[in-house]
Amino acid sequence: MSTTEALPHDTPPADDGLWRAGWYRFAKALPSPNFGPRPAGAQTDLIVLHSISLPPGEYGGDAVQRLFTNQLDWDAHPYFQSIRGIEVSSHFYVRRNGDLWQFVSCDERAWHAGVSSWRGRGNCNDDSIGIELEG
């Protein structure tokens, strides 16, 4: 059991060298504006894995980072028109080469799961960590 698991849910973990305020030290931090507070009493006990590439089937560019930070050029590719204006984020994004990006503190609610439910609970964003895998 880690130190943070042993703490009451409303007690923020101390800086342990790996984590600071929900940010992982070894991830490239690129803060997204697309997040919010977790509801009172939310227990972060779910990981949601996604597969993403932008445009679909293309890898290695910076479109995912731009999407999660509201900087995507909607006119840069025809596919982007179908998602124009969407505001989404994830806690983490893992590139095919192993690079790790973080967009939202794990203490906050990222906007990755949309309309969702798991184990009888709605809105999985409330109690999950979102991890996007490139492709």
- What are the catalytic residues? 132
Instruction: Answer left, alpha or beta for residue 120, where phi above 0 means left and psi between -120 and 50 means alpha.
Output: left
The CA-to-CA distance between both ends of the chain, in Å, stands at 32
State how beta strands 92-94 and 128-134 pair: parallel
